[in-house]
Chains A and B, each alone.
Chain A
Amino acid sequence: MSEFNDRALILEALDGNDEAFQEIIQLYHVTVERFARQIGVREEDLPDVTQEVFIKVYRFLDKYSRGKFSTWLYSVTLNVAKDFFRKQKREKRKVEKTIQERPVLSYEENLDLSDDGRILHNVINHMDEKYRIPIVLFYFHDASIKDIAAIMGMREPTVKTRLKRGKEILRKKLEEGGYEYEPRAL
């Protein structure tokens, strides 16, 4: 999807054209869902998080004025996911001792990964968010350093450092044969 087409759709949506906004959802909801999953949103929470992202996009569309739409969309997704994790933490603390947790649905069983793929997948799922988010954006969403800096609200040299460090961790774990951990959110 080109930036030009994005802008045309946004202008139409701002003009009250619901079909244009529906097209924006069609074009981007899978990307939003995928990114949310990759940064730690649980499978059963993905529909809520994705919906919340587009509700925010709809409400704040008139405030979006510059930069790539996809960059802004990633930034909104990141914020919604972080809000979700915070709420989850609070709720978890409340019910921790009284209610047994629901089983976590996993998409991983169907990934059919090679040994190396599985190691990298597990390590990424356990990485600190400061490395995980740049790695996910750079390797799985083709985001540039500049885009990642805009999405995460930080300077480009910081992103470069974190990417480098994240990559070092991944390569090291790959050479060591990886390790097994429980998946964690941000």
Chain B
Amino acid sequence: MSQERFEKGMDELKQKYNQVQPVTSSKEIFQSVQQSKRNNSMVRYWPMLAATIGIFVIGGILLGSILSGTEMGQGSGDNPLTTGDNGEMEIAGSDGDETLESENGEVTDPNEPVEYAVSDRQQTLTNTYSLEGQEEVVTYNLYVNEGLGFSTYLEPGVEVSEVSSGEGDGVKYTHSELFHFTILKANELDDSSLAAWENSVATRYDADGFKRHDVGEKLSQKADVQGVWLSERDGYNDLFRYYALVEANGAIYLVEAEYTIEMMEGRFPYTVQTFVDNMEFH
């Protein structure tokens, strides 16, 4: 009887919910999508527009300089070199671009990863590692993701793509088929604490057949919580999984990487470590 009553009540609810008149209109939604598309297009073309404006401005300065030099009749042979140098500096320099980029930042959809500097941080970071007896110098580029509200340093050539899951929205960084890592700005759990998130990650890793591994030292100085797990297949540990949880500005960020044991000897663990250790939140 209780089951029947319950089912009947739920059926009634479903029916009544389905009768509620929608408060949204497909036309308005479509218009907002179109508007968002226009905004994104503007953002996409602004660098091109900036470059075009820059070329005209430089051309104008160059022309003005040549004309004034000719008119004044002073050192006309030096002028092309001087203006030419200035021109190169303008094109390659960062001042003009930075102004436009910060304007871009204001109109960019907050979920759109913005891969240029919007802060005062230095553009690159160079680290030297001793890998398999050889010194390797790696230069990382400043990476800013306004949508997720952080900046850090990332290896050049890494493919960036958005990901979305039940745990949150985030970004996947793919270096090669063998190596990728992700960052998620975590959705709130019932208990939005680091411990709750660690528990959630541990449950998932456990379900995937990984075992917690005591690395004996902290891989990242920035992570509030971190861990290393190894997969055990036929007694051979063939996969390594690392996670770091960082709490900032009331949000929790989850960084996860997975790679083979062999790759632990290479520079990829440093890529993840550099990423986490240099995270700054905006």
Give A residues with C-beta under 8 Å from B: 18, 21-22, 25-26, 29-30, 33-34, 37-38, 43, 46-47, 50-51, 54-56, 58-60, 63, 75-76, 78-79, 82-83, 85-86, 90, 107, 110-114, 116-117, 119-121, 124, 128-130, 139-140, 151-155, 167, 170-171, 174-175, 186
Contact = CB atoms under 8 A, between A and B. Distances in A.
B37 A47 contact: no
Contacts of B250: 90
B106 interface: no
B117 to A, nearest CB: 23
A139 B162 CA distance: 31
Nearest to B3: A171
B158 interface: no
Nearest to B37: A58
A78 B166 CA distance: 8
B36 A34 contact: no
19 contacts: A25-B26, A33-B24, A34-B17, A37-B17, A46-B23, A50-B24, A54-B30, A54-B33, A58-B37, A63-B162, A75-B165, A76-B164, A83-B169, A86-B251, A117-B12, A117-B16, A124-B13, A167-B6, A171-B3
B92 interface: no
Contacts, number: 134
B29 A29 contact: yes
Contacts of B22: 29-30, 33-34
A154 B165 CA distance: 10
A79 B2 contact: no
B265 interface: no
B251 to A, nearest CB: 8
Contacts of A114: 9, 12
A20 to B, nearest CB: 11
Contacts of B238: none
Interface in B164-180: 164-169
Interface residues of B, number: 45
Contact of A22 (B9, B12, B13, B26): B26
A58 B12 CA distance: 34
A179 to B, nearest CB: 15
Contact of B20 (A18, A107, A175): A107
Given A113-B12, A120-B9, 8 more contacts: A37-B20, A51-B29, A58-B33, A63-B161, A111-B20, A117-B9, A140-B17, A171-B2
A126 B24 CA distance: 25
B277 interface: no
Nearest to A34: B17
A132 B85 CA distance: 66
A47 B27 CA distance: 12
Main SS class of interface, A: helix
Nearest to A52: B32
B233 interface: no
Nearest to B6: A171
A82 B22 CA distance: 21
Contacts of A38: 17
Given A21-B33, A175-B2, A117 B166 contact: no
Of A38, A55, A112, A170, which is in contact with the most chain B CB atoms at under 10 Å from its CB?
Answer: A55
B109 A59 contact: yes
B170 to A, nearest CB: 10
B152 to A, nearest CB: 22
Given A50-B24, A56-B111, A129-B190, A119 B9 contact: yes
Given A107-B20, A113-B16, A26 B26 contact: yes
A128 B3 CA distance: 22
Contacts of A25: 26, 29-30, 33
Contacts of A112: 16
Contacts of B282: none
B18 interface: yes
With a 10 A CB-CB cut-off, give which of B6, B30, B34, B111 has the most chain A CB atoms: B30
